[in-house]
Structure formats: C-alpha cells, structure tokens
C-alpha cells in the first residue's frame, strides 16, 4: 500500500516538476527508481524484493487515463516500455531498470519478453552512451528481473535490456536494480563488474548458488554505484575465489568527470558503499589481498559468511557495521576486521570506526583481530547481542602458570618467577584496537592474543557485556583513560599486566585479573616491556618501565579481584594517587622482591569507604596492614567481608578492621569473579 500511495502521489498531476521532485536522479528519471527506493525499507532489507512496479503500474495507468501526453511524461497503453533520462513512460504491465544515458531519444519498444546477451570473447559488449541518440537495445525489455547464469562457456543473461552486457565470463551491470546470479565458472575473465551512476538506484546482486573463480583478478568488482548489495539467498551456497596476483589496471570516469585508474585489492572489491546480507552462505577465498573490501562503508546484516584471506578479512575504509550473521574470518598475513581511513576530515566526522551490534563473529588473524583508526563500539542490538571470539597472532602462548602446590589460584596454580617480564611480540597482535576509543556495553567477547587484549590510544569505557581475555601483554590498556562501570564483567585470565591506564576509574561492574606483573597499573608513558612494543601499528616506546609517568586510580563501586604472581609485583599500583570511596576489592599478591606489594602508590592513598581485603607474602606500602597468618583452608576477613585465599601467607591489608578467620559465610551475599565458582567474595 505504501508503494502504491507514494507512486500515485508523485505522478497524479502529470507535472514533470512534481515527478522530478519524487526522483533521486537528475539524469535518469524513471518509475523504477522511485518504487525501488520505496521498497527498500521492507522487502529489500530481507534480501527478496518483489517486482517494484507490478502493483504500482496499474495505479499509474488509472491516475493518468484522462491526461494528454505533454512535457516529458508519456502515457502509454502498450504492454512494454523502456524509461530514459529525459522521458518517463508509464505502463500497465512492467517497467525496466533505468538505463544510464544522456540520450534525448526514446529507444524503440520491442515485443520480446526475454533476451539473451551471452556473447563470445570477441563480441563487443553493450556499453553506456553519452551521445544524443541512444543505441538500439539488444532485445526487448520486459521489466522482469535480469537473470545471469554461468556455465562452462561463460555467462548468459535474460531480461537484461541495456542494463547488462556479457563478454565471455565478464558481466557488466550498468543500471540500478536487482540481478539474479547462479551457476559455476572459472577463468581469467570470471567477473561481475558494476558501473552505475551515483544518482541511480542501488544495485542488488542476488546470489542464488553461484561459484565464480577468477584466476587473474577479482570475481566481484563494484567500480561505481550509489550503493551495492551482495545478497546470499536462502538455501544457497555461493563461493568466490580470486587470483593470487594482479596485472590489470581499470580506467574509468567518476561522476565528477575525473579519470580514475584502479586495481582490485580484494576478492570482493568495492569503491562505494557495500552491504552483505541474506539468509544463505557466502564463502570468500582471497588469495591476493583482502577478502571483502570497500573504500567507503561496509555493512554486514546477516548471512553465513566464511572469509579466508591473505591480508585483511573484512575491510571498510570508511567504516564497518555488523548487526547480524555468522561470520568466520581467517587471515594469514593481516588483520581480521579493519577500518583505517587516514583522512583527517573523515576521522573528525566519525569515519574509520567499527560498530558491532549483533552476529556471531569468529576471527583468527595473523595480526590484530579487530582494529579501527577511530572508535570501536560493541553494543547489544535491538533483538540480539553480539558474540565475538578473537585469536590474534596465534594467541597467548608465552606466559605460563606455575603448577606448584605451594600456592596460587587454587587448582590452577600460580605464576612462578615471571614478575616484571613481558614476552609480547613487537608486532601489533591485539585482540581489539580502537585508536581513539573503545566502548563496550554489551555482548560476549572472548579474546586470546599475543599482544594487548583491548587497546586504545585514547579512552576505553566498559559498561556492559562479558569479556574474557588471555594475553602475553596487557589485558586492558588505555593510553588516556579507563572506565569500568554499570554491568561490565571483565575477566583477564592471564596477562603481563591486567589493566593499565594513566587515569583508571572503577565505578561498578565485576572485574578479575590474574597477572605475572602488576594487576592494576595507573601509569602513563611508554611501553611496559623492556624493549618497547614497536612495529606494525604498535604503540611504541623505547626503554623499559613507566619511569617519570603519572597516574591516578579511583574506585567508587563494583566488585574487583586482583591476583599477581611472584617477583617485584604490585596488586594495585599507581604512579600518582589512589582514592577508594566504594566498591569491594580483593587483592592476592605473591610479591617476593622489591617494594610495593598489595597496594602501592607514589602519591597520596585515601581509603574512606568501600571494602578492601588484601593477602600477601610481603609488606604492603599502602593501606592498613595486619600480621595475620592465613592458609587455603579457611575464609578470612571480618563480619562484613570474607574470602578464601589461594595461597598461604602472613600479611593482610584491610579497610574494615583487623581480619581473622571467618567461621561461617551464611547469610552473606556471594559474588564470584570471572567464570569461577569458588573464587568468590562474601559481603554484607
């Protein structure tokens, strides 16, 4: 009903001015464009669009039956029409996709209901024309959706009109609209090339069981389009494979009249906005560079997508938005999901960002798992929550656990002798990296990385979602500020340092960190490693430690657990001050050398409220310390807080009075950290 109503409204007065106001094209006014955009909000979003003119054309005929032909609007009762850029022809049956042409002559109407434009490699393809007289169509145009079928000899097309040209295995799309593809073909010319005016309607490439292998180039190349959609239709499997090298350069003219030279840099390669959707399966085998790439914005709405790429798996230079689908990405030399515009204006306008609000995503990447030149946002969508699993750089494999029975994390054992020694790679192999910021408010995220789990050169804000991180470097690292609040649940199961930032703010949530060095480190400056973490996208720094840096750490809410291994280690460490005004904090520190201990501050330490309970093997520089022998068999604390330690020692820090054995935790509230069922704190 909406489509009929709008179409009638646009042409009811038969005024060219009114009709032009309904069209988004100044060079090609046609009913196909109008109805295609109207339909895009419903049927196209699901990947199956009904004939955009079948119901509207009768309304048009009825509304104009008493009018005379005038201006640039022609009313016809023939069974078939072809729109042009300077004249609009209404039909009682069907309308073909718009032909991009500056011609002022209406092409002849033909009676054929279907066409075949399959051509041999020596045949000249149908091309766009800017002459004053439009070339005659290959055959009639019924307005039915064009269908392209691949076979061993190449491609053939029906219902194509002037919108499709075929030369062997190369299919060129020249009009907005929907196109159906199926079959199988392999060759150096196996390619779907889209070149439509930016003012034209969107292009939908409906994949209905297509296997296309280009041995020398990209099987899909979106050279120019308003927007392009690759739609994997329900129940079909569609596989695209590209060549391992490139020798071809493409030359074309953009809508601004500028000459462009291009080489395809991905298996599915687009210069303009690209959306992947549908209920079917899409398999991408990228042997040359990226798997799916667009120079503008990339959106993934659904589909079962598998990408095996030499370099990056998914790349939207302008942005990447994922709202659904099951996505499996494997890269051998690059990042998993990437947005990396370097344009300052684009960055200021929010480009270079990645937003994930749905889908089940698995990334196994040689380098960074998910990386953006600007912001990374992970949030729950309207009806779904994203699930993300990242293995970056081969995963955490350097730091190890001590299985000695003399102490440490109960059944897991503790870290042995690793204090102060990071073994992170000099390459950037981070789980999730957002150069300006990372914001996580929902979803389930599992990161296993050689480098930092979460890393930002700006701010990290964690307010929701469940995160599990294993890394050979920092679990969470923000170079400007870190905020943990609301319903965030963060578990760093192994790391060099658990969380690090010059400005740390724990306002809520549940966190757990198990580390070989400092648990929390409020410090700014260069790398935590002895040689600096330089190299590909790394955050650099020469020399070791955080000497000369400053920091500020505040705790006002939430439940937090910190465990650090042996050596010169600190549970909570600040190169500036520490302020605790709320929350519950459990610290287990097995420091056996140096200074620091459970709580260490280079500035002022203020503990005015909240509940802090620390267990150590050495003295603590800050906090109220007590000499209390403890073991792994009993709960220790006060009437307000109790915890069963994972190792034996003789030093405790408490903000709620002198701790001792708690005989019973009955009636107290139990809060567990991470995925543990026994690493839990009891509070009143």
Note the pLDDT tens digit of each residue in 368-381: 999 999 999 999 99
DSSP 402: B
Range list of H helices, 208-260 = none
- With a cut of 60, say whether residue 600 has pLDDT above it: yes
* pLDDT tens track for 214-236: 999 999 999 999 999 999 999 99
| Distance set, CA 231 to CA 203, 234, 259, 275, 318 (Å) | 10, 9, 30, 8, 21
Classify residue 411 by its DSSP letter: G
Does the reported pTM lie above 0.85?
no
Residue 358 C-beta-side C-alpha neighbours within 13 Å = 12
Instruction: Round to whole Å and give the CA distance between 20 and 69.
Output: 16
In this structure, of 20-29, 169-178, 466-475, 574-583, the range with the lowest mean pLDDT score is: 20-29
Q: Is the dihedral of CA 41, 42, 46, 49 positive or negative?
A: negative
% of the chain residues with pLDDT over 70? 71
Q: Nearest-CA neighbor of 512 among 678, 684, 675, 683?
A: 675
Residue-averaged pLDDT of the chain: 79
Which range among 153-157, 524-528, 566-570 has the greatest average pLDDT? 153-157
Contacts of 623 (CB under 8 A, 6+ apart): 598, 599, 605, 607, 612, 614, 653, 654, 655
Which residue from 321, 240, 326, 216 is spatially nearest to 279, judged by alpha carbons? 326
- Encode pLDDT of 457-469 as tens digits: 999 999 999 999 9
- Three-state SS string across 161-176, please? HHHEEEECCEEEECCC
- The pLDDT value recorded for residue 270 is 98
The per-residue pLDDT for 675 is: 83
pLDDT at 12: 38
Cα–Cα distance between 526 and 79 in angstroms, integer?
A: 74
In the chain, where the domains are located: 2-90, 176-345, 410-683
DSSP-assigned beta bridge partners for residue 476: 454, 499
> How far is Cα 137 from Cα 642, in angstroms, rounded to an integer?
83
Q: What is the pLDDT of residues 327-340, one digit of tens each?
A: 999 999 999 999 99
Length of the chain: 684
Q: Is the dihedral of CA 32, 37, 42, 44 positive or negative?
A: positive
pLDDT higher than threshold 50 for residue 442: yes
What's the average model confidence in pLDDT over 140-160? 85
Token pair for residue 638? 């006060």
pLDDT of residue 569: 84
Of 307, 375, 313, 390, nearest to 341 by C-alpha is: 375
Q: What mean pLDDT comes out for the span 44-67?
A: 38
**What number is the average pLDDT over the span 161-165?**
94
* Averaged pLDDT, 297-312: 97
Q: Which of 126-130, 213-217, 269-273, 482-486 has the lowest mean pLDDT?
A: 126-130
């Amino acid at each position: 009903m909406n489509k009929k109503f709008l179409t009638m409204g646009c042409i009811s007065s038969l005024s060219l001015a009114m009709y032009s106001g309904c069209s988004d094209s100044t060079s090609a006014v046609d009913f196909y464009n109008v109805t295609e955009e109207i339909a895009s909000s419903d049927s196209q979003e699901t990947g199956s669009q009904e004939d955009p003119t079948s119901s509207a054309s009768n309304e048009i005929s009825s509304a104009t039956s008493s009018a005379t032909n005038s201006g640039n609007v022609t009313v016809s009762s023939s069974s078939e029409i072809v729109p042009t850029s300077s004249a609009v022809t209404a039909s009682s049956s069907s309308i073909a996709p718009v032909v991009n042409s500056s011609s002022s002559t209406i092409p002849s109407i033909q009676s054929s209901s279907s066409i075949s434009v399959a051509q041999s490699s020596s045949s000249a393809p149908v091309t766009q024309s800017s002459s004053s007289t439009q070339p005659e169509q290959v055959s009639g145009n019924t307005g039915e959706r064009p269908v392209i079928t691949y076979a061993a000899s190449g491609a053939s097309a029906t219902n194509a009109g002037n919108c499709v040209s075929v030369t062997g295995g190369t299919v060129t799309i020249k009009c907005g609209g929907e196109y159906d593809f199926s079959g199988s073909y392999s060759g150096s010319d196996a390619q779907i090339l889209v070149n439509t005016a930016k003012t034209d309607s969107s292009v939908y490439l409906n994949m209905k069981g297509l296997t296309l292998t280009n041995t020398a180039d990209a099987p899909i190349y979106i050279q120019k389009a308003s927007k392009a959609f690759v739609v994997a239709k329900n129940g079909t499997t569609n596989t695209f494979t590209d060549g391992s090298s490139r020798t071809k350069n493409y030359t074309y003219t953009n809508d601004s009249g500028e000459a462009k030279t291009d080489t395809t840099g991905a298996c599915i390669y687009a210069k303009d906005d690209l959306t992947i959707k549908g209920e079917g399966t899409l398999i991408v085998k990228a042997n040359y560079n990226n798997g799916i790439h667009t120079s503008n914005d990339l959106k993934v709405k659904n589909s079962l997508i598998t990408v095996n790429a030499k370099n990056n798996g998914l790349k939207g230079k302008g942005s990447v938005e994922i709202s659904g689908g099951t996505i499996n990405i494997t890269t051998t030399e690059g990042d998993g999901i990437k947005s990396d515009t370097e344009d300052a204006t684009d960055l200021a306008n929010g480009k270079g960002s990645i937003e994930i609000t749905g889908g089940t995503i698995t990334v196994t990447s040689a380098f960074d798992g998910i990386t953006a030149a600007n912001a990374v946002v992970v949030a729950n969508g309207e009806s779904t929550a994203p699930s993300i699993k990242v293995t970056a750089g081969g995963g955490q494999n350097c730091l190890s656990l001590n299985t000695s029975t003399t102490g440490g994390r109960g059944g897991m054992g503790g870290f042995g002798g690793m204090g102060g020694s990071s073994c992170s790679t000099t390459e950037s192999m981070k789980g999730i990296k957002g150069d300006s910021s990372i914001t996580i408010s929902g979803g389930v995220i599992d990161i296993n990385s050689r480098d930092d789990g979460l890393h930002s050169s700006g701010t990290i804000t964690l307010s929701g979602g469940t995160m599990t991180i294993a890394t050979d470097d920092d679990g969470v690292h923000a170079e400007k500020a870190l905020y943990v609040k609301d319903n965030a649940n963060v578990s760093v199961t192994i790391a060099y340092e658990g969380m690090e930032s010059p400005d740390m703010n724990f306002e809520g949530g549940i966190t757990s960190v198990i580390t070989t060095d400092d648990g929390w480190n409020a410090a700014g400056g260069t790398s935590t490693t002895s040689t600096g973490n330089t190299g590909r996208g790394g955050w650099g720094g020469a020399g070791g430690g955080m000497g000369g840096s400053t920091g500020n750490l505040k705790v006002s809410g939430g439940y937090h657990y910190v465990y650090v291994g042996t050596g010169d280690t600190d549970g909570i460490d600040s190169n500036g001050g520490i302020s605790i005004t709320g929350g519950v904090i459990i610290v287990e520190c097995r420091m056996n050398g140096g200074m620091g201990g459970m709580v260490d501050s280079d500035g002022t330490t203020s503990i005015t409220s909240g509940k802090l309970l620390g267990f150590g093997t050495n003295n603590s520089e800050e906090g109220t310390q007590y000499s209390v022998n403890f073991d792994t068999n009993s709960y220790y604390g006060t009437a307000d807080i109790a915890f069963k330690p994972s190792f034996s020692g003789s030093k405790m820090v408490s903000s709620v009075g002198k701790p001792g054995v708690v005989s019973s935790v009955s009636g107290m509230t139990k809060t567990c950290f991470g995925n543990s069922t026994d690493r839990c704190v009891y509070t009143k």
